[in-house]
Amino acid sequence: MATLEFDPDCAVKEIAFTRKNYRDVYPAVDPTRPELSQEGKVIFITGASRGIGQLGFAVSFARANAAALVLLGRSSEGLTETERLVNEINPSTKVLSIPVDVTDEAGMNKAFETAVEKLGVPQVLINNAGQLVKLDTIVNTDVESWWKTQEINVKGTFIATKAFLKHVGEVPSAPTTIINVISTASQGVPPGMSSYSPSKLAVSKFTQFLAMEHPTITSVNLDPGVVATNMAHSVPWLAPFIGDTPELSGGTAVWLATGDRSFLSGKYFNVCWNVEELESRKEEIKSGRLLTFTLNGKFGGPDVTVEGK
């Protein structure tokens, strides 16, 4: 009896918005391309002590010749390792590591003030810090661990963004980008993720508000795919789908921080999608409801009536 062969790319294909899709860095998002240079820019990265923050965003912006990286994270040891990697890749990129918890408002405000004083006003914020505290059913999850996920993923993003906006101003003098790292989990009802999934959906909506309130800042929801991080490995049923590299997220973030990407502001963007195809559809994306979270259905119309007045 023949057995069906499992396709490890099936999750990528299911959510594909472009014809071509990738699971690793490709030429258009190669951070070493001169066209994607981040020369002169100060980049803030939360959750920079490990995973995608370390091996994706920090490493890629160093390769793109960023003037300075501000690395924020809870682990001093992890930040030291990230700093070592950045220095090894590009000694000319200044690095400031600040151990801080994203949920600590006073600590984050002080971190931003210190960094701006030493390095100047930032042009890019990557809200990467996030956590899946516990994978379980609603009835078996304790309130404290369920809410802690909201605190880190939602409150942490809010605190970092508010601190960033304070320093860049209402209308930044230089092109400015906010990248909020979300998840494919925000779109469905993945087993055991009653806390994590809604938290990422909340961040997605928060990004839409950023785009509306700050139209001169490009604010994007970035889905990194399924990367071999500690978080991904904590979800047993994700194992067959892991395969997207942290460098793909990093290169894509560099691309988002280059040129005019305002057509993606307030939108959802999966790193596997081909950016050249997206650009070819920019007017369609910008003018419609594509790549936004909304209620599905057919609403309104000339036949609608209202009674009971």
CA distance 74 to 98: 8
Could you give the CA distance from residue 307 to residue 221 in angstroms, rounded to a whole number?
40
Which of the residues 196, 267, 282, 309 is marked catalytic?
A: 196
Which residues, including other chains, have CB under 8 Å from residue 97's CB and lie 6 or more apart?
48, 71, 73, 76, 79, 80, 82, 83
**CA-CA distances (angstroms) from residue 193 to 141, 204, 241?**
10, 16, 17
- Decide: 185 and 197 in contact? Cβ < 8 Å: yes
Q: Which of 200, 205, 282, 298 is catalytic?
A: 200
Residues 61, 253: contact at Cβ < 8 Å?
Answer: yes
Is 110 part of the annotated catalytic residue set?
no
Phi-psi region of 120 (alpha: psi -120 to 50; beta: other; left: phi over 0): left
196 classed as catalytic:
yes
Task: Provide the annotated active-site residues.
Answer: 196, 200
